[in-house]
Amino acid sequence: MSLHLGRTQFGNPANTGNTLTRAQAEELFNAWVLNPKLKFHMQQVGHLMKCWAAEKEGLDVPGAWKWEMAGLLHDADWDQWPDQHCKKIIEELEQRNIDPEIIHAIASHGHLHFGVEPETRMDKMLYAFDELSGLIHAYSLMRPGGYLEMDTKGVKKRLKEKSFAANVSREDISDACERAGIQLDDLIAFIIPRQAGV
């Protein structure tokens, strides 16, 4: 089964700046995603995207919401329509006249699967957070103190253990860091305290 999208242009440039409201995004999120673990993953990635946009990209509240919305909805169709993963949410957002930047970020979050290269900062950070966030969350669940006193060294140890969170692609993580121009240590150090608050 191929999830390749077969195109690299998404949305209409005339819709630049259009987003769902938070209430609309949450309504779609709750209607489409039923699995609580997947919901939590998407909320974590959304939160990391918002924090990065505000803190590292210097974006204002509407700008950071675009990043958060991409994170919050990036796997929206994975739960109920895995064979249409990415295609279905992209088409939904296109129908709703959403900003192409948000749609492109979602379309490129797994470029090996969807055949869409991460190009913008938003694209690259969504790709970078997706897998690493999941591994750090899995690590928090096996630690008695959760995120308390978790450090970069411990996360890197888990990354080296191929059997730990085996579904997390180590190749995607290093590829994403390279594309985003970020050191792995810095990305881990960014995620730990922020994800602890979700």
Given the rule CB under 5 A, which residues bind Fe ion?
A: 75, 130
In whole angstroms, give the CA distance from residue 198 to residue 196.
6
3-class DSSP string for 95-145:
HCCCCHHHHHHHHCCCHHHHCCCCCCHHHHHHHHHHHHHHHHHHHHHHCCC
For Fe ion, the closer of residues 15 and 118 by Cβ is 118
Nearer to Fe ion, 15 or 177 (CB): 177
State residue 134 phi and psi, 5-degree precision: -65, -40
CB of 130 to Fe ion, least distance (A): 4
Q: How far is the CB of 27 from Fe ion (least distance, A)?
A: 20
What minimum distance in Å lies between the beta carbon of 194 and Fe ion?
16
Q: 75 or 123, CB closer to Fe ion?
A: 75
With residues binned 3-state (H G I as helix, E B as strand, rest as coil), the percentages for the chain, rounded to 5, are: 65, 0, 35
* Dihedral angle sign, alpha carbons of residues 69, 102, 27, 6: negative
| Nearest distance, CB of residue 193 and Fe ion, angstroms | 21
- Residue 15 or 106: which CB sits closer to Fe ion? 106
